[in-house]
Amino acid sequence: MSCKKDAGKKSEAFDRTDKQEEIYIMNILITIPDNPFRKLIFKENIIKKFEALGTVIWNEGTQPFSNEELKERLKTADACITSWGKNKITYEMIKGSPLKFIGHIGGGVHGLVEREIFDTNIKIVSGNPAFARTLAEYALMLLLMAARKAYDRIYALRTHPEVKDMWGQNTLVDGINGKRIGILGLGEVSKRLIRMLKGFDVDIWVCDDYCTKEQEKELGFMLVSLEQLVAGCDAITIHHTLTEKTLGLLDADMIKKMRAGAILVNTARGEIVDEDALILELQTGRISAALDVYRKEPLPPEHPFLRMSNVIALPHMGGKTYECREEMLRIILEDLKRLINKEDLLYAITKEQYDRMSRKIAY
């Protein structure tokens, strides 16, 4: 992996001389440290695609930039490529910078940029759309596994394979056909999931404050209140972003209203659910859960979720596929090229979208 250091040298491919304001990428700053994650996603073919757009300046260290280092490097950056980490680009950092584009190899950008940057001409793009298909298929997998009590059977088979009842015809479990599936939050992930669920004989209920009647008709679901969703569905799968409004949305009262035998799937954010209340309800055996996200990550070894046969607990891996990472990079490269060619961007985030994205909230 070559690291180009001459940040002031102009790429000949974009050496234009017309008098109108130029939009070209001269210096592309990649803030991701030289670590296993960067090596995993920045393959040689991807590096060449970025280098074809200008001069690539790498973070040559093994740690994220300090705020002072980041501010200094932004002074000559036309584009900045980031990912998960400690850095947050502030309005103060980009004053006087030629920065025109921020591309985030990740989902939400609340931890990446200050809201005031949306009042500038800088375009902000993230790989958020890439998560839609990956997370939808993951949520469906968890739903099916929980319905079939897969975790309970896997554990039983590993610990007591000799138990004949496990192999007989008298051990039956549920599927999802004929059931009512509730979806909490209507975004790109849940829209994909709804289309996948059309292959099953299920009723679909959705609870979302921003959903329109047109979407209800187009996607073929019933729009309901939170109380109706919780009390009336055989399974609930959560796809809300985490905001002040959704923090603790499924509280103790709501969890107790879930049907006996109901399944709760959460691939969104752990803080949307009152975790303590969920644990108490799961311990009764009345409901089951399939979880990928938690209030505190990683889970401590003694956490109750890791000891319940009616819980499938996975380590926040819904978006961790090669396809998802490749799609995120494709999205960023596509809009970077469109910016250079003075074309409308396909994935630019608006301030309104930013306000609805997940964020860290103290509680």
pTM for the full predicted model: 0.86
Q: Do the beta carbons of residue 139 and residue 237 sit within 8 Å?
A: yes
Higher pLDDT, 158 or 67: 67
Q: Is the pLDDT of residue 22 over 60?
A: no
Question: Is residue 170 predicted with pLDDT exceeding 80?
Answer: no
Q: Please state, in angstroms and as integers, the Cα–Cα distance from residue 318 to each residue in 30, 86, 206, following that order.
A: 25, 22, 21
> In sequence order, what are the residues at sequence separation of 6 or more whose Cβ sits closer than 8 angstroms to the Cβ of residue 175?
144, 147, 148
Query: What residues contact 83, with CB distance under 8 A and at least 6 apart?
Result: 31, 32, 37, 104, 105, 106
Higher pLDDT, 156 or 122: 122
| CA 224 – CA 206 distance, rounded (Å) | 6
Tell which phi-psi region holds residue 302, choosing left (phi > 0), alpha (psi between -120 and 50) or beta: alpha
Contact 122, 100 (CB under 8 A): yes
Distance between CA atoms of 179 and 201, rounded to whole angstroms?
A: 8
Question: Position of tokens 């990446």?
Answer: 112
67-101: per-residue pLDDT in tens? 999 999 999 999 999 998 767 899 999 999 999 99
Domains and CATH numbers, the chain: 12-127+321-356 (3.40.50.720), 131-313 (3.40.50.720)
CB 236 within 8 A of CB 265: yes
When pLDDT is cut at 50, 70 and 90, the band that residue 3 belongs to is: very low
* pLDDT surpasses 70 at 351: yes
Q: What is the largest CA-CA distance in the chain?
A: 82
Question: How confident is the model over 249-280, as pLDDT tens digits?
Answer: 999 999 999 999 999 999 999 999 999 999 99
Q: Is residue 165 predicted with pLDDT exceeding 90? A: no
Give me the pLDDT at residue 18, please.
39
Residue 7 has pLDDT above 90, yes or no: no
Give the rounded distance of the alpha carbon of 75 from its chain centre. Answer: 30
What whole-number distance in Å separates Cα of residue 110 and Cα of residue 113?
6
Give me the mean pLDDT over the 131-152 stretch. 94
Tell which wins on pLDDT, 154 or 233: 233
Tokens of 282: 């799961």
